[in-house]
Structure 1
Amino acid sequence: MIEFSEEDLAELDEVAQYAETMTPALGAMEVGNVRNQARAGAIAERVSRRQAASVRSQEMVYRSVAAELAGVTFTTDRSMQAQITQAVEWVECYPATLAAWEAGRITRGHATAVLRCGTALPRDGRAEFDAAAAELCVGQSVGRVKDRLEHLAQELHPRTLAERHAKAREERRVSVTPLRDGMSELVATLPTLLAEGISDRLTEQASSIIDARNTPAPGETDPDADDAEAEPDCRTRDQIRADILCDMLLTGSPLADPTIDGDGNGTLGMIRAKVQVVVPALTLLGKDDDPENDTTTADLVGSSPIDPATARALAGAITTWERLVVHPVSGQVLFTDSYRRTASMARLLRARDRHCRFPGCRRPAIRCELDHTFDFALGGRTDVRNLCHLCQRHHSMKQFTSWGVRQLGDGVLEWTSPTGRVYIDHPPAPLVRFMPSGGGAPPDVGSGGAPPPEPAPF
């Protein structure tokens, strides 16, 4: 166990207190700068209206204003012009987000995430998104709140995700951008599910090569015993991923694609990467393709929503199902159709946690370890109320440092830092919201339904 001395802890506490105190002050200063940049944008807009009606003359006005600010802030006019454009967008479309940022309740990272996710909405639909998004960000890390913001934007969009995905999919393409020193950048614009699957498969194969390249064969003590002149494989993971991509693309035959004759599973059926997808029942039934009933989406865990048709195609290609029963109000996972062995408990916990449960971490649960909150060696039981997903980094922190954690029930974790600060981490919000039969706002998660179970003593 790594321990801090009393002096170290006292100094660390002072550092944390300073950071805690400075956050609101920094927020106020940053928002002040944003509002000032937006004023510069308003000046450029006003002056450009008095110029000749040509794109060039109006653009020169914006460049001139940006250069003025760039000169006093020691930056480039290109960067400043982009900052001014962003500032105008914040001021005009996201006043609630700016107010929360100015008060120190959220950070620039949160505000940037709100701006990015809100871009998908038409301008007249961003006010409702802004008000809800600002509250969603409070008390959450930027990484944790991004997927919730994306889902919120999907819910408020006047067109369904299926309609927009069908249109966006027409823009898929591959392009090459020449770089220096005989290199080029290959860019593929693809549906998110395929892009994530390709990336994950490259990572898995690269990991296998790294694990095996220096492992002696059975009976050998030196992997290079038969070839003393052989050079060791010192490629990095990124280099190996790039080499595998080239090997696959240059040696694979397009005739292997079963979609040619229409009898195979197609591109989705060829995916062998581990991609965790949460699919609501209404999506599988096709209920959400009706624009009047677009209340659910499927979720590619750790990335973004995917269109219902893709989710159904994936579901149709598998041979086994894992049914999850959830609370009808809160969406909390209650149990699976099989609850006898640790494997079943792991499935339930993957659905509940969806990512590492250390505050702020979003590494997907399928890349994490199931950890006993109260150590098994000390008497902790293998129970869903004593298990959670932790990535290797944070599992090691829990094991070898003074960071402590305990379960409060319903999957809620209470983390305590070495200086005594307490952080509460809740399971991810449910992806399905149920509306009352008469319409109106969704019911309060905290009211009605079965009471949460009492935490068991571990």
Structure 2
Amino acid sequence: MSEKRGVGVHLDAARDQLLAERVAVAAKILAAGRFALARMAELGHGFEDLIVDDWELVAAELGAELGISRGRACTLITQGRDLLTRLPAFAEVFAGGGVDLRVLRVILHRCALITDPDIMAIVDAQLAAAAPSWNALSDERVGELIDWMIVEVDPVAVRRARETRRSRHLSLTPVGDGMVEIYGVVDAAKGAVFEQGVEALARTVCPHDPRTHAQRRADAVDALALRATSIACLCGREDCPAAGNEVPSGQFVIHVLAEQPTVATAQGCPEQGGNTGAPVATPARALIPGYGPITVDHLADLLPAARVRPVPDPADLGAEPGYQPSHKLADFVGRRDLTCRWPGCTTSVARCDIDHTTPWPAGPTHPSNTKLYCRIHHLIKTFHCGPGGWTDHQHPDGTLTLTAPNGRVYTTKPDGALFFPQFTVATAELGAIDMPPPSPHRERAAPTRSRTRIQNRAYRIAHERAHNRDHIDAHPPPF
């Protein structure tokens, strides 16, 4: 019995830690919501028609403080705000650790179409009473129970199956070893066309191709994207009936970073080992920014169609005339930084702008004064910097120090140095630069939205409710 009690201590600890985890998660979400509501009221800009509105400014501050991406910051703000303003009774239960985060996500999604505050209050009270017993249920069952509540008080607010089509998407996620996982939800007809195309391409090689059928299907993806009618056969036979298959080619461009010894190894150069079996002097390093490392074998597959271009030596780069960086400077900055330099932001180089830390022409177009920002953070830097806003200072090694409007200081370092240590080399020290005061009317030049966030949300809710109403009218009870 004493041994059983001893083992039971671990169960008790796991249960207690689960409760502590729920309480901590709830506290974080509610704190994010309170901060967002208070900070937006404090800002009070009313720039709802701007791309960078008060919501974006709040997300930037929260993301920097927590070291998380803009998307995750926006999710925390949305969850916290909805708990505080739409589900106050349930929020108390959630804060006490009574409900798991997974259940909260389902609740917020299923209740999103309720617009009447009185109806929302009814559902809120029911959720506060019932949700603590849902933690062991599947997402599908939790959704059904929420819908059961909503259908009684607001039938047009029930989210129906048609929402699946609106959630269609296609995503690529790096999974390591030079591979990515492709997944998503698409229209059935488009999925059928894709399936047939991949299957047809996979069958264009001869029976001696060494790959499995599943591997040929995977290798057919790029051929399908490039509208090729066949894939290359890898059997290597002189009498291969598929020897004339076209090799997919097109105008798509991907960037691969690799050290010279790695490239030489992949090319099979004897002095670097290659196909001779000799040892490689340095570890093989190759990287597709945004997708992760790849092996030398993968690099060897890419090299025949690639153009090898050395990344410029920082010692060879200096100040350039004009605002637009040269290709050499852009290559160096992109490979040094790899991602947006805003704290917590992981937007890859392909979707970033090159920003002048000290705005041009006061600051030169120089590697010590340029770095990557994604478009949103570039806009924040451009239109919300200076007194009362953000300021950033760039060091010669690429380290960036940002000071938030609240005075908090954040430091980010270039990601390139994590993979390629040579990018830690400092560029020239520019010295003090007189920063011109920002224009008092700069907001007038900021890009605007066609519809504000509030208008977009109201439109989506009204659109879905209208579809639900039409469905109910066309299929009146009994169903």
Taking structure 1 as the reference length, the TM-score comes to: 0.41
RCO greater where, 1 or 2, for CA within 8 Å and sep 6 or more? 2
- Give the greater-gyration-radius structure (CA): 2
Taking structure 2 as the reference length, the TM-score comes to: 0.40
